[in-house]
Amino acid sequence: MKTVKFKSYLAGVKYCSFTFKLEERLVNVMSEGRESRTENLILDRLKAPFGSKDVPKFLGYASVFGPGLVWAGLSQGSGELIWWPYMVTKYGLFFVGWLIVWAFLQYWYNQEIGRYTVATGESIFEGWHRVHHILGWFMLIMAVVFYSWVGGYLGGAASALATITGFPGGWSFAAQGQFWSTVLIIILYIIMLLGPVAYRVVEVIESIAALASFFGMLLAIIAVPAASGVAGEYLAALFQPKLGLPSGWDPADVGILITMIAYTGAGGFWNMAYSYWIRDKNWGQSTHIGRVTSPITGKPEAIPSIGFGFEATDENVKEYSKWTNTLWVDNAFGVILNMATIFLTSILSYGILRPMYLAGKIEVPKGWKLIVVQGEWLGAAWGVIGRDIMLLLGFFFLFDTFVTAGDFYSRIVTSNSYTNLEGKVKNTGLTWLGLFIPMAVFMLPFSYDPKLIAKNPALGWAGIIIAMVYTVIIAALMTYSSVHNWEYRKTYYGILTVFYGMGLAQLFLKKPGPLILLTGVTSMGIMVLACWVLLYLNWFLLPKIHPAGKHVRPKWFNFLILLGISIVFTYTFAWYLSLQFG
């Protein structure tokens, strides 16, 4: 018998360790399989070598356009709609001088995530496992916790529809929101299930949302003198960064500030979705990897668990360079479009809400209430139409996030299961136990909300129970699909079904307070970790294990830029922790 000891930091405050005894073969049960019998899926790294195929011909940017626009659509969420407007309303233009800087910090993060996929055809999560399995499993576990309550985004979007329509008549506002959330979940699930290619569904929805959000906000600013009149002052502040904190700074806003920095773009885990979109759009070596297709309307495509490198021939190196150069353009398109959207939302707030706040007419609203206040202001200026326009824009900002989250989360879980477990595990009970226990250990403290339990015990404990049941199901589905060698798309749609089911369950629950903190602050922590790992992965590890060797290593200029960004993110996150817990 051997004792396997797992150690974990819960919520960054309390260290705990627990041990459980398994048979001696447990440490090797995860390494049985067709690719490597010496690889340990806990204490080792992903060793399976890349295949080798020529780099596909680059057919022009128009043929591969899409991932950058989708990234911009995803990014137009809470940071753009809520946190930047909140800060501008409360502190004026103090932080605006850092907007461009914070936006382009994410540019380099995206670039290296995308580079790995273009060079190998693998998602970035396979990259995490190639660095070390502990890192890969940690990223998976945190993603399971992180996306477990993302249905709140859809609730915000449904609230907009409830306000606009007032339907069903005679119902309470909360009940109307639950009705529209249910309708949206059912419709979106059917669309995802029937869409021939999963990525294409996401691309269409995100593109519509991104363009509607941008042009809708632009038209609102042009039409509202109070907003267009401050545009010049706002644009001048963009190039005047200020150090320190503004006068009247509220220490309670430090978490919001960190969240705003992380979400000046996608933020944290969300950026990693760029890897999957590049993969399904067939960029570079991803051309050799099949796409996720509908089990009802799509034709199956082969998705190997391991990616493909290329030999360092002149032709291959030349074509690879074309793909990576295009990555710079596509990434920039997404970052700039999202940054421009932040300009618009914060100008609107500076022109409308800031004067109201200074005059003492309003408290600074938080969350969805901020959009409602702006909508009511437009309603006073334009009538019901103005209010509904603002609410409809809020709907576009939030509902697409739920769609993208479901797709991305399903890919994360499926990739980890398909690449690292399938064909390598045979013991159902031990595999399920090895997945469930660490997931539950991380899920439990973020589901436990003492304030909610004290206020409404039934609701508080129900949230914990549902979170644990959800964790049981995810671990069971990963285990069963791995032991029974499911194809990639079958596992994907299984996880997607569980995700949408969890979304339905959340309609009658209140999101736990600890998870609200998790979705913002943890994004910054994940970005800190991911940036440092990317430095090692792309500059040191990948050239050693890739058939093309040094030809896939980025320029050292890129290394220095990402190094600087890693230091900035680390310092910012450490500053936050020192204020919160020091």
Q: Which amino acid, 502?
A: M
455: burial class by Cβ within 10 Å (0-12, 13-18, 19+)? exposed
Q: Which two tokens stand for residue 219?
A: 């038209």
Using DSSP, state whether 10 is helix, strand or coil.
strand
CA 183/CA 160 separation, integer angstroms: 14
pLDDT band for position 94 (50/70/90)? very high
Q: Which two tokens stand for residue 461?
A: 């404990």
Query: Residue 123's closest CA among 309, 306, 292, 333?
Result: 306
| Among 84-88, 383-387, 467-471, the least confident range | 383-387
pLDDT at 18: 30
215-246 tens-digit pLDDT: 888 888 888 888 889 999 999 999 999 988 99
More confident residue, 132 or 445: 132
549: left (phi > 0), else alpha (psi -120 to 50), else beta?
Answer: left
- Do the beta carbons of residue 346 and residue 160 sit within 8 Å? no
Q: Which two tokens stand for residue 234?
A: 């706002």
Mean pLDDT of the chain: 84
* Residue 22 CA to its chain's centroid (Å): 35
Q: What is the CATH number assigned to the segment(s) 2-412+494-581?
A: 1.20.1740
Rounded mean pLDDT of 452-481?
92
For 351, other C-beta atoms within 10 Å of its C-beta total 21
Q: Which amino acid, 514?
A: P
The yes-or-no verdict on residue 514 having pLDDT over 80 is no
- Do the beta carbons of residue 277 and residue 205 sit within 8 Å? no
CA 79/CA 68 separation, integer angstroms: 18
pLDDT at 392: 76
140-170 tens-digit pLDDT: 999 998 888 776 667 767 777 887 888 898 8
| Among 159-173, 431-445, 551-565, the least confident range | 159-173
Percent of the chain with pLDDT over 90: 49
CA dihedral 277, 279, 281, 282 (to 10 degrees): 170
Give kind and range of the element (H or E) at residue 18: strand 14-22
Q: Which amino acid, 383?
A: G
- Do the beta carbons of residue 292 and residue 280 sit within 8 Å? yes
- Do the beta carbons of residue 295 and residue 195 sit within 8 Å? no
pLDDT band for position 479 (50/70/90)? very high
Rounded mean pLDDT of 113-133?
97
CA 276/CA 446 separation, integer angstroms: 27
- State the SS3 of 355-423: HHHHCCCCCCCCCHHHHHHHHHHHHHHHCHHHHHHHHHHHHHHHHHHHHHHHHHHHHHHHHHHHHHCCC
12-39 tens-digit pLDDT: 333 333 322 332 232 333 333 334 445 7
CA 1/CA 24 separation, integer angstroms: 5
CA 136/CA 378 separation, integer angstroms: 47
CA 407/CA 430 separation, integer angstroms: 28
pLDDT band for position 63 (50/70/90)? confident
- Do the beta carbons of residue 483 and residue 463 sit within 8 Å? no
Give kind and range of the element (H or E) at residue 308: strand 308-309
pTM across the whole model: 0.87
258-268 tens-digit pLDDT: 888 887 877 78
CA 337/CA 175 separation, integer angstroms: 36
